[in-house]
Amino acid sequence: MAFRGGRSVGHAGYWYPGFLVSWFLGVLVSWYLGVLAGSPKIELLFGLSFFCDNPSMASTRIVRIGDVEIGGDRPVAVQSMTNTRTKDVEATVSQINLLEEAGCEIVRVGLPDRESVAAVEEIKGRISIPLVADVHFHADFAIEALKRGADKVRINPGNIGSEPEFISVLEAAGERGVAVRIGVNSGSLHRKFADEPDQATALVKSCIEYVKAAEKIGFTDLVLSVKSSTVMTAVKAYRRLAKEADYPLHLGITEAGTLLAGAVKSSVGLGVLLAEGIGDTIRVSLTADPVREVQVAQEILRSLGLRSFGPEVIACPTCARQEIDIIALAEEVEKRLRAYRDPIKVVVMGCPVNGPGEASEADVGIAGGRGAGIIYREGKAVRRVSTDRMIDELFKEIDDFITAKRSQ
């Protein structure tokens, strides 16, 4: 088990028949990822490996974004970015509200024009989560967004203009006590490192160069990122950056892709880093509804045991033994549970083989069979119900369980 500033990172697997196979495959995959990223393996625990040379290398500084603190031992915060026209205030506020409802904790809006910059103040006044202004090319846009109440500004120093323009943004942020994210990617490398053959090295060196410029004027309310669309380049870059700087790190695999491909790439890249204690806030970049970004980010953090976000559904894969439509059942249960916020583990199984065992690890569950299902609560079978009543009876048990927990 690795620890970072009071936050434990690890996962104790369950000893079921397929565990040894899963563990062995996990070891092989983790070893392979570690070799690709050029970092030695130092520990294996139930299929989750850690490759950091120094487990204590994670950020120690704490930076405030509105009313959310990141860094140190603070929980990893979930971010997303709107895809509306920012100058369309109604559409943007509506989407931000949906993102907040889904669990987004920090939201970013792009400011491509002056009308969008002008909208920042009204948007800020109508939402309740921190607002980040995302600015490229125009230092004056970033400064104006700060004046209009942005809780953080994200800039790429490599494309914001000259160094004096970069410094002018930092000075404006410093006057207001607002943080700045230095976001470096392959399109915004410092000119000194444009010809560096190793992309991860170029990203880190560029970022550190900008950090030094900020520190030179006494500005330290920084968040750093070195994103890449190539998973292992991002992993290598963030590992190196974590060793060289103690500022909070914003993790992401940039331009990860559509829902399935993007979720897989982000889960692999962010999962490796977070398991090593690297990362203080994350965005899963998807070519999809931004709400999906939040959902995937939450699942990544929950799978690593770093955060708890409402209900967790455990469902069996389909096979020849299923005696009910487990896909439809699991999807309906998951759909209904979106309205719930209490942390609860719900298991949905389609046959008697794994049902009882999996139900023993859940708060509430159902194991469906031919013509009937068994409702479980805290590992014990409580009653048998007809197939047409399974979902309603399951949620009756879920509601009763939540009420009992709240009253304790």
For residue 214, what is the domain's CATH number?
3.20.20.20
Task: Determine the pLDDT at residue 58.
Answer: 62
Please give the residue range of the domain that contains residue 392. Answer: 312-407
Question: For 60-114, what is each residue's pLDDT tens digit?
Answer: 899 999 999 999 999 999 999 999 999 999 999 999 999 999 999 999 999 999 9
Question: For 137-149, what is each residue's pLDDT tens digit?
Answer: 999 999 999 999 9
Same domain? For 178 and 294 the reply is yes
Provide the mean pLDDT of the chain: 84
Same domain? For 31 and 170 the reply is no
Lowest mean pLDDT among 74-88, 120-134, 204-218, 306-320: 306-320
What percentage of the chain has pLDDT greater than the value 70?
A: 84
Task: Determine the pLDDT at residue 4.
Answer: 39
> What is the band of 265 on the pLDDT scale with cuts at 50, 70, 90?
very high
Number of domains composing the chain: 3
Residues 318 and 295: their CA atoms lie apart, in Å, by: 23
Question: For 158-171, what is each residue's pLDDT tens digit?
Answer: 888 888 999 999 99
Same domain? For 316 and 299 the reply is no
Residues 305 and 112: their CA atoms lie apart, in Å, by: 37
Same domain? For 124 and 157 the reply is yes
Q: 79 has which bridge partners? A: 106, 283
> Would 257 be classed as within a structural domain?
yes
Please name the residue that has the structure tokens 């909208």. Answer: 119
> What is the band of 371 on the pLDDT scale with cuts at 50, 70, 90?
confident
Same domain? For 89 and 187 the reply is yes
Same domain? For 245 and 293 the reply is yes
Same domain? For 352 and 257 the reply is no
The residue among 286, 303, 320 that closes a domain is 303
> Would 57 be classed as within a structural domain?
no
Residues 131 and 93: their CA atoms lie apart, in Å, by: 11
Residues 20 and 2: their CA atoms lie apart, in Å, by: 22
- Asked whether the predicted pLDDT for residue 6 surpasses 60, the reply is no
> Would 176 be classed as within a structural domain?
yes
Q: 143 has which bridge partners? A: none
- Asked whether the predicted pLDDT for residue 405 surpasses 60, the reply is yes
Same domain? For 16 and 69 the reply is no
- Asked whether the predicted pLDDT for residue 57 surpasses 60, the reply is no
Same domain? For 299 and 316 the reply is no
For residue 382, what is the domain's CATH number?
3.30.413.10
Lowest mean pLDDT among 284-298, 319-333, 371-385: 319-333
Task: Determine the pLDDT at residue 322.
Answer: 78
Q: Is the pTM of this model over 0.85?
A: no
Q: What is the mean pLDDT of residues 266-283?
A: 96
- Asked whether the predicted pLDDT for residue 48 surpasses 70, the reply is no
Same domain? For 240 and 94 the reply is yes
- Asked whether the predicted pLDDT for residue 55 surpasses 80, the reply is no
- Would you say the C-alpha torsion 123, 125, 126, 131 has a positive or negative sign? positive
- Asked whether the predicted pLDDT for residue 396 surpasses 90, the reply is yes
Using DSSP bridges, classify how beta strands 372-377 and 48-50 pair: parallel, antiparallel or unpaired.
unpaired
> What is the band of 353 on the pLDDT scale with cuts at 50, 70, 90?
low
> What is the band of 341 on the pLDDT scale with cuts at 50, 70, 90?
confident
